[in-house]
Amino acid sequence: MALMITDACINCDVCEPACPNEAIYFGGQIYEIEPALCTECVGHHEVPQCRALCPVDCIPLNPAWVESREALERKAERLLTGKAATQDGSSR
């Protein structure tokens, strides 16, 4: 599953820089998570960094975006491959 940020968010700015996939952004009122980019830190960390760092525990699983561990691993690989292609200027 992807994660989501609830309206309990206090805009502390801790989660956004911790996200290895740049899935977290300021949505105008609170921070939000782009589900297509969220891998729950699979491929980067043992636990989701945003959840580990959030001082108000407002980042639950997103029930509208259900994904298996395998799907998260495939998404992480695609994102890492795309990021590498962008950084070295090549296209794959």
CATH code at 26? 3.30.70.20
Hey, which residues does 32 pair with through a beta bridge? 25
Half-sphere exposure of 23 (CA within 13 A, CB side): 24
21 has a pLDDT exceeding 50: yes
Average pLDDT for 72-92: 76
Residue 1: inside a domain, yes or no? Answer: no
Which one, of 61, 63, 40, lies nearest residue 50 by Cα? 40
**Residue 26 in this model has a pLDDT that exceeds 50:** yes
Q: Which domain holds residue 70?
A: 15-88
Task: Note the pLDDT of residue 92.
Answer: 38
**pLDDT band for position 84 (50/70/90)?**
low
Total structural domains in the chain? 1
| CB atoms closer than 10 angstroms to residue 39 | 26
Question: Could you tell me if residue 2 is inside a domain?
Answer: no
Share the mean pLDDT of the chain.
92
Model pTM score: 0.85
Q: Is residue 4 part of a domain?
A: no
Q: Is residue 6 part of a domain?
A: no
